[in-house]
Amino acid sequence: MIDRIKSYIEKHHMLNRGDGVVMGISGGADSVAMLLAFCAIKEEYGLRLYAVHVNHGIRTEAAEDADYVKALCDNNDIPFYLFEDKVKEMAATQKKTLEEMGREYRYQCFYQIMEKVGATVLATAHHRGDQAETVLFHIIRGTDLSGMAGIRPVAERTAKFGRFSLIRPLLCCEKTELVGWLAAKGYAWREDSTNQDSTYSRNRLRNEVLPSLEKVHAGAAAHIADLAGIMWEHEKYFCRIALNYVEEHVENREEYVWQTDRQILSEQDALVAKAVIYELLGRAGQGKKEFTREHVEAVYGLLGSQSGKKVMLPKEIEAVVSYENLIIRKCFRGADTQSPMREFADFQEIILSLDKLKKSGKEEKVSLPLGRTLRLSCQPVSGLTGEQYENMLKNVGNSKNNYTKLFDCDTIKDALCIRTARSGDYFIFNAVGNKKKLSRYLLDMQIPADERQRILVLACGNEVLYVLGGRRCENFKIRKETKHILKVTYEGE
């Protein structure tokens, strides 16, 4: 048994020498077997082992389970950590099912000890029967390849304390094998009476559905567990294709915002396109757990929709088609003071004094939302050589540089300000002085409506000199008569 578990660990690269491993130990046969298996390979791998036992406050005999696990850990020189709380009351308060609350609480306990001891591996004792049960549960609830892949042998996760590996070293073992091995070794274990309560959906699958399937065909549970392994290989294949597509065709415009050409995506095979969408949902939502097949299908259906169509998804994720693009992004609502939208909503107009810039001769640096900056300086033409001035006149339009613009400071009569775009803004868009509303310009540039709220401009009254990071107006150009040059540089894109 130990050799088989060790081989499975090595096959899936679960451990590195010297790893700190936190084990979830309930006292049941499977978790006891996992603890003993880790003890058997501890020296070979140089592992640091820690056991966490969680008492959910549901069963009267739970205290005895904790005492048993503590004694087992003491006998094997493993640090033991006990957590106790009334999970039933927690579930009622937070309006969650007992199963959901129990799992959430357990993992909170695991993470707390991982952070405390500096462990980077979390081990749980799921076996092949759990795998079959999980696959069935996903199928009847509605799933795709990802759900049919069931429980992964190794999953890379992120918690507040950092990245870690969640491993299941017993997925290669049947429950009957584990029980037989423990009995042969003379080890005891604890039985959880709630496992027999078929009012819980998982227990009903375990106690009623799987035994019925075994009567239909012997080995049914094992075949379902094998299917999970096959589906996992298929899913990894499509994930690789999706990641390659994302690398080549998807732009991460800003934090939590992903954009891709919807025409190119719609030309891909449907399975590939949906795998890409699933990957982007996971990135925007910082995890894929809440996203189902229905959510992926809803986003896929957007690809042929008219611009502006959107769907709202779990975890405050929004998918929207905007002109030729599909955009998947996190929406920040309410009082989320850390959101990018909140930064722009709270941005106050900044007034700039040109006289002060002229007199100081120094560069002024203005901080903008999302860590961006605007640098401004006023330079007298008399300080330039003839060649420098001639080159400046040649490049007066700065048409190829969206981030540094030059203006005739002397022709700007009123104070300048940096602010968000507002109604009534306009700019001069050609050499003969024709005006265009800023709103019309942004529409022509196919900038989505919600993104227009994040546009910042350098303006004089309602006349826009420069859409930061975009176009400058055709007014206030440097001429032979220019005495002072206003240099504006936008940074942070």
pLDDT digits (tens, 9 = 90+) for 156-178: 888 888 899 999 999 999 999 99
- How far is C-alpha 172 from the geometric centre of its chain's CA atoms? 30
User: Tokens at residue 438, please?
Assistant: 């800023």
Task: Give one DSSP letter per residue of 309-345, joined into a string.
Answer: -EEEEGGGEEEEEETTEEEEEEPP-TT-TTSHHHHHH
For 318-352, the pLDDT digits (tens) are 999 988 999 998 876 544 444 555 666 667 788 98
Q: Where does CATH 3.30.465.60 sit in the chain?
A: 255-330
**What pLDDT is stored for residue 399 in this prediction?**
43
Q: Which three-class secondary structure state does DSSP give residue 36?
A: helix
Q: How far out from the chain centre does Cα 137 lie? A: 25
361-413 pLDDT tens trace: 888 898 888 778 899 998 888 877 777 777 766 665 444 445 788 899 888 98
Average pLDDT over residues 76-97: 91
DSSP 214-230: HHHSTTHHHHHHHHHHH
Tell me, what's the pLDDT at 334? 46
Query: How high is the pLDDT of residue 169?
Result: 97
Are 125 and 31 in contact, with CB atoms under 8 Å apart?
Answer: yes
Every domain of the chain with CATH number 3.40.50.620 lies at 2-226
β-sheet with 20-24: strand ranges across? 80-84, 48-55, 20-24, 121-123, 162-167, 154-159
CA dihedral 68, 187, 25, 212 (to 10 degrees): -120
DSSP assignments along 117-185, one per residue:
HT--EEE----HHHHHHHHHHHHHH---HHHHT-S-SEEEEEETTEEEEEE-TTTTS-HHHHHHHHHHH
pLDDT-derived band at 429 (thresholds 50, 70, 90) equals confident
Question: What number is the average pLDDT over the span 308-312?
Answer: 89
Q: Where are the alpha helices (DSSP H) in 186-333?
A: 201-204, 210-216, 220-249, 262-266, 270-284, 293-302
CB hemisphere CA count around 171 (13 angstroms): 27
Q: What pLDDT score does 215 carry? A: 94
Please report the pLDDT score of residue 340 as a whole number: 53
- In single-letter form, the type of residue at position 70 comes to K
Class of domain 255-330: alpha beta
Query: Given this model, what pLDDT does residue 189 score?
Result: 94
| Cβ contact 83:55 at 8 Å | yes
Percent of the chain with pLDDT over 90: 49
Distance (Å, rounded) from C-alpha 144 to C-alpha 296?
10
Strand-pair category, 325-330 with 257-261: antiparallel
- By the 8 A CB rule, do 487 and 450 touch? no
Q: How many CA atoms lie within 13 A of 17 on its CB side?
A: 2
Q: Which residues pair with 310 in a beta bridge?
A: 320
pLDDT digits (tens, 9 = 90+) for 131-165: 999 999 988 887 778 889 999 999 988 888 889 99
With residue 11 as reference, give the H or E element that holds it: helix 2-11
Mean pLDDT of the chain: 88
Q: 452 versus 327: which is more confidently predicted? A: 327
Q: Which two tokens stand for residue 335?
A: 């009082």
pLDDT value, residue 79 = 97
What pLDDT score does 268 carry?
95
CA 34/CA 54 separation, integer angstroms: 16
Q: What is the rounded CA–CA span in Å between residue 151 and residue 228?
A: 8
Per-residue model confidence (pLDDT) at position 492: 65
| Local confidence band at 53 (pLDDT 50, 70, 90 cut-offs) | very high
Percent of the chain whose predicted confidence (pLDDT) is above 70:
94
CA distance linking residue 52 with residue 404, whole number of Å? 58
**pLDDT band per the 50, 70, 90 thresholds, residue 449:** low
Confidence of residue 439 (pLDDT cuts 50, 70, 90): confident
Query: What is the predicted pLDDT for the residue at 420?
Result: 85
pLDDT of residue 337: 45
With beta carbons less than 8 A apart as the criterion, state whether 214 and 129 touch.
no
Q: Given this model, what pLDDT does residue 227 score? A: 94
Instruction: Determine the average pLDDT of the residues in 430-454.
Output: 79
pLDDT band of residue 308 (cuts 50, 70, 90) is confident
Domain 2-226 has CATH 3.30.499.10: no
Q: Which amino acid is at 208?
A: E
Tell me the pTM. 0.64
